[in-house]
Amino acid sequence: MADFRICPHCRAFVPTSERTCTECQQPMGRPYAGRPAGAAALAGLVPPTHFTTVILLLINSALFAATLILSARSSGDWGGGLLSVDGFVLYSLGAKLTRSIRLRGEWWRLVTAGFLHGGVLHLLMNFWALYDLGAQVEEAFGTARFLVLYLVSSACGFLASCLWTPALSIGASAAIFGLIGAMIAYGYRSRTTLGQYTRAIYTRWAIYGLLFGLMPGLQIDNAAHLGGLAAGLGLGYLAAPSAGALNWLWKAAAAFAVLIAVVSFLFVWIRFPAR
Q: How far apart are the C-alpha atoms of 67 and 85, rounded to whole Å?
A: 7
Would you say 257 and 147 are in contact if contact means Cβ atoms under 8 Å apart? yes
Residues 6+ apart with CB under 8 A from 160: 223, 224, 226, 227, 228, 230
Active site amino acids: 173, 225
187 pairs with which residues across the strands? none
Ordered alpha helix ranges (H), the chain: 38-43, 51-75, 87-92, 98-104, 109-112, 120-141, 143-164, 173-189, 193-212, 222-239, 247-271
Residues 6+ apart with CB under 8 A from 184: 199, 202, 203, 206, 232, 233, 236
Nearest to 212 by CA among 122, 150, 133: 122
For residue 13, the SS3 value is strand
Nearest to 161 by CA among 100, 216, 238: 100
> Beta-carbon neighbour count of residue 216 at 10 Å?
4
> Beta-carbon neighbour count of residue 266 at 10 Å?
11
For residue 4, the SS3 value is strand
Q: How far apart are the C-alpha atoms of 178 and 229, rounded to whole Å?
A: 4
